[in-house]
Chain A
């Protein structure tokens, strides 16, 4: 029989057992109660407990068996595993039925089970983080067995070249040895991130200042959601916008000044990424500026400072930790942004300080390495995970620093809604 049919049969039988458990349990509890004995729980609760006792252990055993098969490669025939689970379900049914007695706290038992189910759900987010970490670290280690970590970090030439031949066992045919020096990729990433920040921080921060300090209430309630629209536009759309509309404009403008710009220049993706990030900075900064206590503004105005001076010399310095924290979050977002650079930035690793040239980024190389028809074992494919590891480390540390800064701000001004 096929696994699918087996699974369907298993689910059917389990469902049936569950139903039997429910009705038998309820009937028995009702009978006990009819004799006039005081019971700790309602008949339905005994019934539900019987169902849990039937299905819970059986499903757990089935899942553990399946996991063992996957993890250790243990060869348990599916038929035996499922049959075993059903036997356990039947035993569970008997145990559940035997617990239908007046002095058993069925409700509390259910409560305990539910608590464990909720804990299990909460653990999934932790498993996700570990999943990301392990999948990246594990594959990255395999990459570093092939190429030295030091060359990866300090090398200035990224040329995966013929590494796929080596994976196919034809290493000697390769003309030139593959080189995985990630410096040009990081240079490109930082260049584009820097351009994005040059757009996003001034515009975002000034918008936040206007919304928090100057704007009439009407404008404020309208402007905030409008800015949020910028954050809701899918990145693939921004990428198209950058490649089709903005890049040619940049080339024209550069040509006007007598400069030579590539159509895959770094300015177009940087600019568009900056636009995308404006709402992150403006919305967080707006919250922080609003959280600065009014007594500080009043004190400053009472000393005869103008409104502009109050903002510049009192409000912004007070809000600075929050603003820096917002900017760090924005940087981490820009570093990990993929679609805009994949569509608008170049593919050629290029170590240059000229933003009008084409250059590539870490995320572009990750996508390029994983979308080809390459063997998974090849160094180029695995290099994507090494790059991912660096990206993960950098963004994680930026996030942690950002969280610490906002916590300091919160403690200083005793604000709780940030």
Chain B
């Protein structure tokens, strides 16, 4: 059976249409993934940016005798309704520390309570109609205003939304990451050096290699079970402490650092090693004086990426108890602490509307740190990348 040219060219057109359809569909898939990313960031910014502003009230404070016992007495009754309770509680302490204040008056800007704050931001709140009018009047006269929220960056967690901040969690993150790095970096680099430069190609080496790849794919929550059963229950490391959290995360970060270091070591050309051996260096001298310094930028990049990964991890830390209510900035590696993602998790569980923006604000800070870390890694790689 013979086909006319028309049939064939129609068939050809159809086939080409199919081909270009695949192109557009696959392009659409990539676009969809990009769209998710844009929507996600837009949503987070939309929800989180209000957290960086907080409502403050200008109140007149009369430091009288009653205020030494009950802070409320220092304020006009209608002011006391819109000022944060956390500030009221500070007044007796202030008077105790500075007895000269007694009998004086001053006007200052203090934190408004969470409901007023939510009202000003146009969110759901529990203020009554009369209270709203009172607040409106004060906004008119400039006595109530939204200002940059320093409390968010200087305070620890609080049950009062207006006073909750990320400082305690940030310090906890730094301490946990110090422990993680102190354990994972040396062990990871040593393992990689052994596997790349020293190890004979035998069964043990193969087992170690397979094992490291597997470790990288084990769900993070299982590391939490290890931390709980072995570090806490067996070795008696204090629960909830940056020490146990850091140790758990170190085991998780180990494979990342090992794999990155091996890649970096492999990219150092053999001619360097041959030259060093040629002038009589021992194996360790070759590694220490020549290979490691040349591989260092790659190792640093990998470690920073591993660190960023560990910094965003929450699941194993929940298991070892690092999701705790921490109002004060911690100072010790063995005391209970929390970390940024865990703080985000705690806030996400709070029922109050005001904590939604705190959560999103915490997320923005966390994302900013992670983006900074990853950007540093990229810059490091670009700057020191060497083509042999």
Point out the residue from A119, A236, A307, A337 that lies within 8 Å of B344, measured CB to CB.
A236
- Which residue of chain A has its CB nearest to the CB of B30? A207
The answer to whether the Cβ of A309 comes within 8 Å of any Cβ in the partner chain is: yes
CA A403 – CA B211 in complex, angstroms? 12
Interface of B is mostly: helix
Minimum CB–CB distance from A109 to chain B (whole Å) comes to: 11
* Nearest chain B CB to A128 CB, angstrom units: 5
Selected contact of B284 from candidates A110, A128, A335, CB within 8 Å? A110
In the complex, the answer to whether A388 meets B15 with C-beta atoms within 8 Å is no
B235–A122 contact, CB under 8 A?
no
Of B97-105, B129-137, B291-299, B307-315, the segment with at least 4 beta carbons within 8 Å of chain A is: B307-315
Chain A residues near B284 (CB-CB < 8 A): 110-111, 114
Whether, in the assembled complex, A132 has its beta carbon less than 8 Å from a beta carbon of chain B, the answer is yes
A214: nearest residue on chain B (CB-CB)?
Answer: B23
Q: How far is the CB of A99 from chain B (nearest CB, A)?
A: 17
Contact A122 B191 (CB under 8 A): yes
Of all chain A residues, which has the CB nearest B252?
A128
Most buried by A among B207, B208, B225, B226: B225
Could you tell me if B282 and A125 are in contact, using CB atoms closer than 8 angstroms? no
For window 143-171 of B, CB contacts with A under 8 Å fall at none
Q: A121-B187, A122-B195, A206-B29 are in contact. Are A139 and B19 (CB under 8 A)?
A: no
Quick one: which of B224-271 are within 8 Å of A by CB?
A: 224-226, 228-230, 233-235, 251, 254-255, 258
Other-chain contact of B16, A70, A306, A329 (Cβ < 8 Å): A306
Q: How far is the CA of A114 from the CA of B224 in the complex (A)?
A: 32
Query: A149 to B282, alpha carbons, bound, how many Å?
Result: 56
Of the listed residues A107, A282, A336, the one surrounded by the most CB atoms of chain B closer than 10 A to its CB is A336
Query: At the interface, yes or no: B289 with Cβ under 8 Å from chain A?
Result: no
Q: B113-140 vs A: 1/0 string, CB under 8 Å?
A: 0000000000000000000000000000
Is the pair B26, A107 in contact by a Cβ cutoff of 8 Å? no
In the complex, chain A residues whose CB is within 8 Å of the CB of B191: 118, 121-122, 124-125
CB of A221, distance to nearest CB on chain B (Å): 13
Question: Across the two chains, which residue of chain A brings its CB closest to B315?
Answer: A338
CA distance A367 to B359 in the complex (A): 20
Measured in the bound complex, the distance between the Cα atoms of B226 and A230 in whole Å is 28
Contact: B221 with A367, CB < 8 Å? yes
Which residue in chain B gives the minimum CB-CB distance to A402?
A: B217
Is residue B40 within 8 Å, beta carbon to beta carbon, of the partner chain?
yes
Instruction: Tell me which of A125, A282, A311, A396 has the highest count of chain B C-beta atoms within 10 A of its own C-beta.
Output: A125
Residue of B nearest to A384 (CB): B225
In whole Å, how far is B40's beta carbon from the nearest beta carbon of chain A?
A: 6
The B-contacting residues of A in range 122-163, CB under 8 angstroms, are 122-126, 128-129, 131-132, 135-136, 138-139
- Could you mark each residue 293-333 of chain B with 1 if its beta carbon is under 8 Å from any beta carbon of chain A, else 0? 00000000000000011011111001101010000000000
Assembly CA distance A278 to B32 (angstroms)? 11
Residue A320 at the chain B interface, CB threshold 8 Å: no
- Are the CB atoms of B43 and A210 closer together than 8 Å? no
**How far apart are B202's CB and chain A's nearest CB, in angstroms?**
12
A255 to B308, CA, bound (A): 40
B219, B223, B360: the one within 8 Å of A391 (CB): B219
The size class of the interface chain B forms with chain A is 35 or more
Please report which residues of chain A, range 205-220, place their CB below 8 angstroms from some CB of chain B when the two chains form the complex.
205-207, 209-211, 213-215
Beta-carbon contact of A308 and B221 below 8 Å: no
Q: How far is the CA of A339 from the CA of B28 in the complex (A)?
A: 29
CB-based nearest A residue for B47: A244
Distance, CA A135 to CA B232, complexed state (A): 11
Contacts of B219 in A (CB 8 A): 332-333, 335-338, 363, 391-392, 395
Pairwise interchain contact A240-B363, C-beta atoms closer than 8 A = yes
Residues of B within 8 A of A384 (CB): 225
**Which of A234, A245, A282, A306 lies in contact with B19, CB distance below 8 A?**
A306
B29 contacts across to A, CB distance below 8 A: 202-207, 210
Residues of A contacting B: mostly: helix
Hey, which chain A residues are within 8 Å of B254, CB to CB? Answer: 124-125, 128
Decide yes or no whether B386 CB sits under 8 A from chain A: no
For the complex, what is the distance from the CA of A98 to the CA of B348, rounded to whole Å?
A: 66
Looking at B73-81, B87-95, B366-374, the stretch in contact with chain A turns out to be: B366-374
0 or 1 for each of B175-197: is its CB under 8 Å from A? (1 = yes): 00000000000110011011100
Interface size on A, residues (CB 8 A): 89
Q: Is A191 engaged at the interface, CB distance under 8 Å to the other chain? A: no
Contact assessment for B26 and A121 in the assembled complex, using a CB-CB cutoff below 8 Å: no
In the assembled complex, B21 has its CB within 8 A of some CB on chain A = yes
Q: Which of B22, B47, B187, B314 contacts A124 (CB 8 A)?
A: B187
Q: Is the CB of A139 within 8 A of B229?
A: yes
A308 touches B22 (CB 8 A): yes
> What are the residues of chain A within 8 A of B222 when measuring CB–CB?
132, 136, 336, 388, 391-392
Q: Which of A184-241 contact B (CB under 8 A)?
A: 202-207, 209-211, 213-215, 223, 226-227, 229-230, 232-237, 239-241
- Contact, CB under 8 Å: B19 / A230: no
Q: Is B218's CB under 8 angstroms from A396's CB?
A: yes
In the bound complex, what is the Cα–Cα distance between A107 and B283 (angstroms)? 10
B348 x A239 contact (CB < 8 A): yes
Given contacts A70-B234, A122-B208, A128-B251, contact A233 B367 (CB under 8 A): yes
Cβ of B341 < 8 Å from any Cβ of A? yes
Are A338 and B207 in touch, CB under 8 angstroms? no
Query: A122 contacts B225, CB within 8 Å?
Result: no
26 A-B residue pairs with Cβ-Cβ distance under 8 Å, sorted by A, are A118-B194, A122-B195, A124-B187, A125-B191, A125-B212, A125-B254, A126-B208, A132-B218, A202-B29, A206-B29, A207-B26, A240-B360, A244-B356, A275-B33, A282-B33, A307-B23, A332-B217, A333-B217, A333-B219, A363-B219, A363-B221, A363-B315, A367-B318, A392-B218, A396-B214, A399-B214
The 5 lowest CB-CB distance pairs between A and B, nearest first, are A336-B219, A234-B312, A308-B19, A135-B229, A206-B29
| B interface with A by C-beta (< 8 Å) | 15-16, 18-23, 25-30, 32-34, 36-37, 40, 43-44, 47, 186-187, 190-191, 193-195, 198-199, 207-208, 210-215, 217-226, 228-230, 233-235, 251, 254-255, 258, 282-284, 308-309, 311-315, 318-319, 321, 323, 341-342, 344-345, 348, 356, 359-360, 363, 366-367, 370, 374
Besides the known contacts A121-B194, A240-B344, A332-B217, 18 further A-B residue pairs in the complex with CB atoms under 8 A apart: A115-B198, A121-B191, A123-B208, A124-B187, A125-B212, A138-B229, A204-B33, A206-B30, A210-B30, A236-B342, A237-B312, A237-B366, A240-B348, A282-B33, A339-B314, A366-B225, A366-B319, A367-B221
